[in-house]
Amino acid sequence: MPPGLMFVASSVVDPNRTSDALFTKFYNEEHLPDVIRSGRTRFALRYKSTNPDSTMPYMAIYPVEDYHQMDLEENLRFAEQTRQSFVFEGADVFDLVNFEIRPYVKIQTFEGWERENETGWERGKTMVCVATEPGEGKDREFEEWSRKQQLPMLSMCRGYQRCTRYKRFDAAKPRYLALHEWDCEPEDLPTEQLKMVEGTEWAREVIGEAQIWEEDVFYLIHEHGATDDKI
């Protein structure tokens, strides 16, 4: 079966009640170990958005070997079993933290120039996350542009490592997700080269016709589990 990805965006409900430091302690020292022990995934990665106005500034991703492992009922049972937090002194996690869960199935892994033999130990610090809903009836064109032009051009950009592409298996929109890994700091992304990638006639057509095109830049803040694995 194809591998999958559990994508979880999160934020604190009330920053005056839950500090960023306490939220980080809960996530890194309690929640992620619970997820790994559950057997759902071998490793987890946490990122934070560079956008200070983001309403869900944290992203956690959990690769799974078989996307069927992301069973809704099983996830609900896990949430119920772990909702009382010792870091939050017994409080209900869902009273303090907002979670948005998105289940995906993998559709492509694209390795950048001479990156095929890298492992998770060479993981880049920056992740550019692009969620897309193509224009009406334009899925095939979006797929062809991604594979034939966008990714080959990105592979020639300074610091580009790889892209892992996914599609939501619950059909919720936006359906497509691309995770672009870079081995540089967010502020060192090659912006001029990226403008060239998105400035071609084909790119302008695909992006311009997209119903949804959400792009955000994240930086890696924590890894847990078998961190030598790739996404």
The verdict on residue 228 lying in a domain is no
Looking at residue 120, its pLDDT comes to 54
Domains in the chain: how many in total? 2
Task: Give me the half-sphere count of Cα atoms (radius 13 Å) on the Cβ side of residue 53.
Answer: 0
The verdict on residue 227 lying in a domain is no
Residues 186, 191, 193, CA angle at the centre, nearest 5°? 130
Q: Is the pTM of this model over 0.75?
A: yes
Looking at residue 116, its pLDDT comes to 60
**Residues 52 and 117 reside in one and the same domain:** no
**Residues 135 and 217 reside in one and the same domain:** yes
* Two structure tokens written together for 112: 């950048």
193: domain range? Answer: 107-222
The verdict on residue 206 lying in a domain is yes
Looking at residue 67, its pLDDT comes to 80
Low-confidence ranges of the chain (pLDDT < 70): 72, 76, 114-121
Looking at residue 119, its pLDDT comes to 58
Looking at residue 71, its pLDDT comes to 72
**Residues 119 and 195 reside in one and the same domain:** yes
**Residues 154 and 204 reside in one and the same domain:** yes
**Residues 181 and 208 reside in one and the same domain:** yes
**Residues 99 and 115 reside in one and the same domain:** no
The verdict on residue 116 lying in a domain is yes
Looking at residue 231, its pLDDT comes to 83
Looking at residue 95, its pLDDT comes to 95
- The last residue of one of the domains, among 85, 103, 121, is 103
The verdict on residue 204 lying in a domain is yes
CA–CA distances in Å: residue 129 to residues 114, 171, 216: 22, 19, 5
**Residues 55 and 124 reside in one and the same domain:** no
Looking at residue 7, its pLDDT comes to 95
- Which residue in 95, 127, 142 sits closest to 220, CA to CA? 127
Looking at residue 172, its pLDDT comes to 94
Quote the CA–CA distance of 127 and 163 in Å, as a whole number.
Answer: 9
- The last residue of one of the domains, among 103, 138, 158, is 103
